[in-house]
Amino acid sequence: MRSGIYRQNEVTIAVQPAANWANRRYMQSFFGVMPSQAGPSMTAYAPDAAFKDVRGGIVGEYNLTQQWALATSLQYVRKVGAALHSPIVATRGSYARLNSGVFALYTF
C-alpha cells in the first residue's frame, strides 16, 4: 500500500507502511533454534506464526515516458513479536535495519 503525499507532472513521492506476517515454517527456518542447535549462548526456540516485522518508507518515482519510470526508496524495518525475541536476533542479528534501492520500472 502506498499513499501519495506529493505529485506534480512526472514526479510522485509516497509513503509506504507495511507489516509482514510469516507462517510457522518460515519463522522456524529464520528465527527458530532446534534443541540440537542450542548451546551455552543460544537456547532452543520454536516461534509460532506471527507478524515478523513492520516497515515504513518513502518512495520517489519519476516517469520518463508512459511506459518507463525510475524509482528510489528508503525503508526502515523493525522486527516485532516472535522474530524480535528470537535468540538468533538477540545474539547475532539486529532488531532493525534500513533498506534502500533504485529501480527501473516498465509498464506493459
Q: How far apart are CA 79 and CA 55, in angstroms?
A: 9
Per the structure, the count of domains in the chain is 1
Q: How far apart are CA 33 and CA 83, in angstroms?
A: 12
Quote the domain boundaries for residue 7: 3-106
**Per-residue pLDDT at 2:** 65
Note if the pTM is more than 0.85.
no
Percent of the chain clearing pLDDT 70 (strictly above): 98
Q: How far apart are CA 88 and CA 34, in angstroms?
A: 11
Residues of the chain with pLDDT under 70: 1-2
- Nearest CA to 79 out of 106, 36, 47 is that of 47
**80-99: per-residue pLDDT in tens?**
999 999 999 999 889 999 99
